[in-house]
Amino acid sequence: MAAAEENSSLFLIFILTMIALPLVPYTITRLCHAATKKAKTIHCRCSGCHRSGKYRKSIYKKISNFSTWSNLTILLLWIVVIFLVYYIKLSSREVQVFEPYSILGLEPGASESEIKKSYRRLSIQYHPDKNPDPEAHTYFVESISKAYQALTDPTSRENYEKYGHPDGRQGFQMGIALPKFLLNMDGASGGIMLLGIVGLCILFPLMIAVIYLSRSSKYTGNYVMHQTLSTYYYFMKPSLAPSKVMDVFIKAAEYMEMPVRRSDDEPLQKLFVAVRSELNLDLKNIRTEQAKFWKQHPSLVKMELLIQAHLTRESFALTPALVKDYRHMLELAPRLLEELVKIALLPRSPNGFGWLRPAIGVVELSQSIIQAVPLSARKAGGGNSEGIAPFLQLPHFTEATVKKIARKKIRAFQELCDMSEVERATLLTQVAGLSEEEARDVELVLEMIPTIEVDIKCETEGEEGIQEGDVVTMYAWVSLQRRSGLTAALPHAPFYPFHREENFWLLLADTVSNEVWLSQKISFMDEATAITAASKAIQDTQEALGASPMEIGVAVREAVDRVKKGSRLVMGKFQAPAEGNHNLTSFCLCDAWIGCDSKTSFKLKVLKRSRAGTRTYVPEEGPVAEDGIEEEEEEEEEEYDDYESEYSEDEEEEKKKGKGKVANGAAHQRASSDIDSGSDD
């Protein structure tokens, strides 16, 4: 019995050891990382963002930030460790050496008469006839009687004096670190144990696998339904206008599954009246257009009205039930828009390129949703080609405010940004009619707006010039600067109720053919990952060129320094087209800010093939569309009554200007809404 209890205690010690070995170093690492992490404010500090409550550090949010799966797992494991230590301490008994002289209260070597005298004295005190206490009875039988026998019996005394135990030499004992019930198992309990092992080791993993496979068959890695990707792929067209992207976006399966209640009819009717001007209805046939709008699928009607309510900032009039749907719609929007961009950039043209026009439209829709700015605000007018949308993302700015500052010849958003702080404060307070606090909010937001600078170079590794059929490598350093000095920051978005990081899309495209040759998503939030990626890319490139270890080390250090200063390296490969001069344009589009996108044009000169052999480059496969879906090409151009994208300029005028063109793909650009920069050939 004692051996079984000892084995059970050893099993608990074994479990405690296996838990503590990884838990202790991992906890120390997490604590050191948390202690060295600098607390830096990377979100907007204007009054609008403060009132939104997204960044307010309440007790509930602190608990929510702590209540991650990793933190809760660590806490649970430490609770288990503490419980095991406490239980082992209570269950394990200290092993005491048998000392008969000490039990009888005698000195070693006492005579037989002294032993008998002490035994009689203790018998009067602990004998069951004299003391009814059960513990006294146990002590008398297991200790006093055994000690007296060991000292009075000649054989037992000889064994004790020789081996330290009345029974003679003791063998070496070993324990098994298994629980007690496994050692004392009979036939019935063995069957139960077998069923438990089968259930835990076979059925439970199988159930987890079935749940995972059923979920993975429905959702992608970005938690977007496969049905949504199929729908987006079917409705994506190369000539899709930016304002028509909304019609494709709201067809997501996640939105179609949202409930449509009868109680929502009246609030949606009122919301329709409030946002009717943003629905692109034909005013000449308004009744027909309204009837056609309401004949759509109820989920489509509901989603479009909720999105327009957000863009026009009319969400305060929603009922509690609609507010819940409204928040869920905004929560899903970023990842749905990201997948919609990827669908637009999916290689589908005869040359294996994506489509530029719909990709730009999706990014512009993302900007409008994050900043809660209506799409109609992008219409060019009043001498401003980009519309008033960039102004409306600033706090306390309205259409009336934009008209007031336009009287002072401030019509472009970049003109407002280029003013000095004193001049801008004077303009906002004396002309626009803002208070000093409101002008200070505008200044805080302008400090957070990023300025993008891009260095692009295209070349064939190890060769001079680019010949048709070569595998061309594009190197692009994208640098970000803010007046606040931050690199990683969260955008100003007081009307978007969730945490949102800013991302950038770098597109290398041919605007004439509407083809995107290369695309890459860029984030400035994780510096460590960017350093690792840039170092590996530079090292692999230098090794391929046969550089010495010293040259490789210098190039890697330079790349790391650029990343730490706020730059990100983007590399991509494409196969050189046919011989000739190809006019390409690089776009760097932000999915959260309006008016900070960057654009430049450069010339890629491809020579006639003279080198032996033709290299081929197989691009990486993009997302695979659902089976049975075929693309329907539209030959005729659509006519649009809505706004045009700020990038849909006439390419013939750009050719006449001849600016921003650089031979063989070397270009340098600085962020500006519509200004192309570069150098001549």
Determine the straight-line distance between the first and last CA of the chain, rounded to whole angstroms: 93
pLDDT of 64 reads: 58
What is d(CA 522, CA 533) in angstroms, rounded to the nearest whole number?
A: 12
How far is Cα 223 from Cα 62, in angstroms, rounded to an integer?
A: 26
Higher pLDDT, 39 or 433: 433
Q: What is the pLDDT of residue 167?
A: 64
Q: Report the CATH superfamily, name and number, of domain 223-346.
A: Sec63 N-terminal domain-like domain (1.10.3380.10)
Per DSSP (E only), the strands in 188-328 are: none
E strand intervals along 302-416: 354-355
**Are 279 and 319 within 8 A, CB to CB?**
no
Specify the 3-state DSSP secondary structure of 521.
Answer: strand
Distances (CA, A) of 168 to 95, 154, 157, 158, 173: 18, 12, 10, 9, 15
Residues 354-409: pLDDT tens digits? 999 999 999 999 999 999 999 999 888 766 777 899 999 999 999 999 999 988 88
Query: Is domain 451-606 annotated with CATH 1.10.10.10?
Result: no
When comparing pLDDT for 266 and 67, which is higher? 266
Q: Is the pLDDT of residue 142 over 80?
A: no
Per-residue model confidence (pLDDT) at position 315:
87
Model confidence at 615: pLDDT above 60: no
Q: Find the mean pLDDT for residues 107-117.
A: 79
Spatial distance between the Cα atoms of 28 and 193, rounded to a whole number of angstroms: 38
* CA 229 – CA 172 distance, rounded (Å): 69
Would you state the pLDDT for residue 645?
Answer: 66
DSSP state of 493: -
Q: Are 100-163 and 223-346 the same fold in CATH?
A: no
Question: d(Cα 52, Cα 14) in Å, to the nearest integer?
Answer: 51
- Could you tell me the strand order of the sheet in which 471-481 lies? 567-575, 471-481, 451-459, 667-670
Q: Which of 15-24, 89-98, 638-647 has the lowest mean pLDDT?
A: 638-647
Percent of the chain scored above 70 by pLDDT?
Answer: 78
Distances (CA, A) of 73 to 79, 81, 145: 10, 12, 53
Residue-level length of the chain: 681
- Closest to 394 (Cα-Cα) out of 351, 447, 345, 353: 447
User: What is the distance between the alpha carbons of residues 648 and 385, in angstroms, rounded to a whole number?
Assistant: 11
Please give the single-letter amino acid code of residue 454: V
Domain at 100-163, CATH from 3.40.640.10, 1.10.287.110, 1.10.3720.10, 3.40.50.1820 = 1.10.287.110
Contacts 24+ apart (CB under 8 A), 91-98: 91/5, 91/8, 91/9, 91/12, 92/9, 97/164, 98/146, 98/147, 98/150, 98/164, 98/165, 98/166
- Amino acid 622: pLDDT: 41
Mean pLDDT of the chain: 80
For the stretch 31-85, pLDDT in tens is: 877 665 544 567 888 888 888 777 665 555 555 556 677 788 888 889 988 988 8
Separation CA 348–CA 666 (nearest Å):
27
Report field, pTM of the whole predicted structure over 0.85: no
Element containing residue 562 per DSSP (H, E): helix 549-564
- Residue 499 and residue 483 in contact, taking contact as beta carbons nearer than 8 Å: no
Query: Over 60: is that where the pLDDT of 672 sits?
Result: no
Q: Are 642 and 279 in contact (CB under 8 A)?
A: no
**What would the pLDDT profile of 434-480 be if each residue is shown by its tens digit?**
999 999 999 999 999 999 999 998 888 878 888 888 889 999 999 99
Domain range annotation of the chain: 1-37+62-91, 100-163, 180-212, 223-346, 451-606
Instruction: Check residue 42 and give its pLDDT.
Output: 79
Question: For 628-655, how does the pLDDT look when each residue is reduced to its tens digit (9 = 90+)?
Answer: 434 444 444 444 444 556 555 444 444 4
d(CA 333, CA 344): 16
Strand 471-481 and strand 567-575: the pairing is: antiparallel
For the cut 70, the answer to whether the pLDDT of residue 207 exceeds it is yes
Alpha-carbon radius of gyration of the chain: 38
